[in-house]
Structure 1
Amino acid sequence: MTEIINFRAGRYKISFHILHILMTEKYENNATQVPSSDDTLLGVINYQKVPTPIYDLTRILEGSSAQQQMSDLIDLLHEREKDHVEWLNALQSSIETGTEFTKARDPHQCAFGKWYDSFKSENEDLKHILQKFDEPHKVIHSLADKLLKMAATEGKEQALKVLNQQRKSTLRLLLNLFSAAREAVSSSYKPVIVYTTLNGATPSLGFLVDSVDDALTIDESDIQSFVNDQAIKFAGELNLPRMISGLITKDDVNSLLIDPSLIDASLPEAYENEASLA
């Protein structure tokens, strides 16, 4: 039986043998930068009086940091919220002036709808909030046909009255959901440094991960050997495929097992020179 700890790094689940983990701690943006061309290297932290290199595991795996991904997603949600305010403004203008309404009437064809239909997340809070978008988002888009027809048959005033009611109800609900979604994104970012060890006493390397996931007891039979055929490549100078010693499958969930002893063997010579100066 083997004890492992699982962590999240982007969309990946990463595992370390418990004996390879010296300590985990909240990341406080306290890494000291060192000269390096490798943007996955955050810097060095003097941990237990040992200058320990800290690598951003999400950036290694996905090419961008979790913090940048979070910021991009929050910006996107702001933009898609703005889109729907402008959508209703355009509809109001069409009702008032009789000009053609050219924005998307199909909720699956607006920028948010296309993103919404394809977006996947491991953030359970965000997933729960996004599920609530479906109905009000469809209601908003249904207003175009409904209110333009109403303006033609019952008059502009009646159509504008209903539009104003929808601003106060459905649009307000949608805006509250956008706000809640952004909060779910920002509150989920709780970066942790995993200090790895080769001897159980001193740190080897540190890895920035998005969050601690869970602990598992597994059988050796749950670990399948991982063979790199050179097709798998990640960002940065660390040769991560060589560091992945196996694929763990437990209860139909997969994770990548990282072996710190393989990591040290993969360190670029340039970094070793930098670390000796830190």
Structure 2
Amino acid sequence: MRSSAVAPLEVLLIEVGSRTFALPLAAVRYVARIAPEFRCNGEQREDYFVFEDEPLPFVSLWDALGLPSAYAEYDSLQAMLPQRRQDHLDWMAALEHSLRTGTPFAKARSPYDCAFGKWFYAYRPEDRRLGLLLAQFEQPHALIHGLADRLLAQAENNQQAAALAEYQTASTTTLATLLQLFDSASQLLTELQRRIAVILGSGRAARALGADAVRDIVQIPAPRCKPGQAGGPTAGLILLDDGTPVPLIDWTVF
């Protein structure tokens, strides 16, 4: 007698933001890394993803599912760090102006009070590499801010030349170190972002779906596959071994 058992469904588990979704493995051709410069979500997102020299329609699952990327924090840091880098160039320029002209110096003198310092002492990175790099900021950042009280006091005590000489030395040493750290942090944030494009289908039906990461490949017994309502971005739910429900994406609707 022929068995009527239904074969299990093999799925690729992917991460979009903080959530897990499934794609039918039979439709998956390849998982490619998305280059950091590729605009994968938001109003400026790319329309096509090039795979094997073929431009495929690109679907941003972050936008389609209304979820922020797991790397959204890194995006905001990359936008913030160049501003904070420029802040310290402006800070040093203002200090030099005060030393030369006697104009009151109005910028933050404590490393805890500038915009970068307020962020730096409150931020706790989860990534170990980022944490180790950020830890290197503390000494040169504190030394830069420590210049203000000392050099301004020298200038007020008729030691302007000595104050300006120390200022120039700090500009080519401590400030240069701090600026390089800002550049290194921006570069590392780019490297840490490893979004993926899941290539599905073939011919005109081929698509590239943008996601944050691949989690696993699993087999789901038929009784743990629950159909959903037609017309939406999900074809139903699957239940993992631990009972966790995971939406099964209907990639053909995109």
Q: Which TM-score band applies after superposition, normalised by the shorter structure?
A: 0.5 to 0.7
For the residues of structure 1 that align with 2:160 and 2:110, how far apart are their CA atoms? 23
Tell me which of 138, 149, 153 is aligned to 2:153. 149
Write the mapping of 1:115-194 to structure 2, written as runs, cut at 5 A: 115-119=119-123, 123-153=127-157, 155-194=159-198
The answer to whether the Cα contact below 8 Å between 1:3 and 1:215 also exists between their aligned partners in 2 is: no
Residue 91 of structure 2 aligns to a residue whose secondary structure is: helix
**Is 1:24 matched up with 2:31?**
yes
For residue 12 of structure 1, what is the amino acid of its counterpart? Answer: S
Q: Deviations over 1:64-88 (max 9, x none)?
A: 8969974x64343222111101101
Judged with a 3 Å threshold, the aligned counterparts in structure 2 of structure 1 residues 80 and 45 are, in CA distance, closer, same or farther, namely closer
Equivalent pairs counted in the alignment come to: 226
Describe the SS at the equivalent of 1:259.
strand
Distance of 1:164 and 1:152 partners within structure 2: 18
Residue ranges of structure 1 left out of the alignment (5+ in a row): 30-37, 198-202, 218-236, 250-254, 272-278
Point out where structure 2 has 5 or more consecutive residues left out of the alignment.
Answer: 1-8, 37-41, 219-230
1:100-111 alignment to 2 at 5 Å? 100-111=104-115
Which deviates the most, 95-104 or 72-81? 72-81
Change beyond 3 A, Cα 1:174–1:7: farther
Which residue is equivalent to 2:18?
12
RMSD over equivalenced CA pairs, Å: 4.9
> Taking structure 1 as reference, are residues 140 and 7 closer, same or farther at Cα in structure 2, changes over 3 Å only?
farther
Q: Does the CA-based 8 Å contact 2:61-2:211 persist in structure 1?
A: yes
Alignment-mate amino acid for residue 25 of structure 1: A
1:131-152 Cα distance to aligned partner (Å, 9 max, x none) = 2112211221122122222323
> Aligned partners of 2:124 and 2:27: how far apart in 1?
30
Bigger shift: residues 119-128 or 81-90: 119-128
Deviation at 1:176, TM superposition (A): 0.8
Task: Give the aligned partner of residue 84 of structure 1.
Answer: 88
SS in 2 for 1:107: coil
Letter in 2 for 1:100: P
Distance 1:91 1:205, change over 3 A: same
Q: Could you tell me which residue of structure 1 aligns to residue 118 of structure 2?
A: 114
Computing the radius of gyration from Cα coordinates, the structure with the larger value is: 2
| Equivalence for 1:207 | 209
SS at match of 2:173: helix
How far apart, CA to CA, are the structure 2 residues paired with 1:260 and 1:58?
13
Alignment of 1:34-73 (within 5 A): 43=47, 54-59=58-63, 60-62=65-67, 70=75, 73=77
CA distance, structure 1, for counterparts of residue 47 and residue 232 of structure 2: 14
CA shift, 1:54, in A, is 4.1
| Residue deviations 1:190-227 (CA, integer Å, cap 9, x gap) | 43212469xxxxx89753124x465488xxxxxxxxxx
What TM-score do you get using the length of structure 1 for normalisation?
0.59
Gap change, CA 1:19 and 1:41, over 3 Å in 2: same
CA-to-partner distance for each residue in 1:245-275, whole Å, 9 max, x for gaps? Answer: 67999xxxxx9944225x77xx5xxx6xxxx
| Structure 2 partner of 1:34 | none
Q: Structure 2 length normalisation: TM-score?
A: 0.63
Q: Distance in 2 between matches of 1:46 and 1:81?
A: 35
